[in-house]
Amino acid sequence: MTKDTKKDASFLAETQQEGRASGKVKISDLDAAINSVNAIMHEDVAQNVRDTKEEELPTTKIVVYCHDCRELVPAGFGKTLRGNARTICGTCNSKKISMGREEALTRFYHLNDRKKDEPKKERKPRPVKK
């Protein structure tokens, strides 16, 4: 008789090979199960995150960069054709904006490299659709 080599070469458990696996895992302690599966953070770091209050976490400031004005501008609120709210440039009412962290936008658009004495172009504000 020939031996069935397919079952011997498989990496699946016997219950999975026979189709009897239920897919249910019995977990008595969720923290212990998560820690046994992977150890992404060091235990001291994980404890520090658990002990930190939400008010003490660092916050970031989200700003709007207008591609027409080419500077960081205050956010404005316009409406789409369907009446939904949309963020627009607060200065020229343009829809061509990018939102993000202030540090990231200044680095990406090279706002620190620009000359401070460079005159800004005067643009007329676009009409807002109501």
Task: Let me know if residue 74 belongs to a domain.
Answer: yes
Walk across the sheet containing 97-101 and list its strands. 71-73, 62-66, 97-101
Q: How confident is the model at residue 100 (pLDDT cuts 50, 70, 90)?
A: very high
Note the pTM of the prediction, 2 decimals: 0.49
Domains contained in the chain, number: 1
pLDDT at 67 (0 to 100): 92
Q: Over 90: is that where the pLDDT of 42 sits? A: no
* Structural domain containing residue 83: 62-108
pLDDT at 36 (0 to 100): 62
pLDDT at 66 (0 to 100): 93
* Rg, the chain, Cα only: 29
Task: Let me know if residue 27 belongs to a domain.
Answer: no
| Average pLDDT score over residue span 96-124 | 80
The whole-angstrom distance between residue 104's C-alpha and the CA centroid of its chain comes to 14
pLDDT at 78 (0 to 100): 85
Q: Are strands 97-101 and 85-89 parallel, antiparallel or unpaired?
A: unpaired
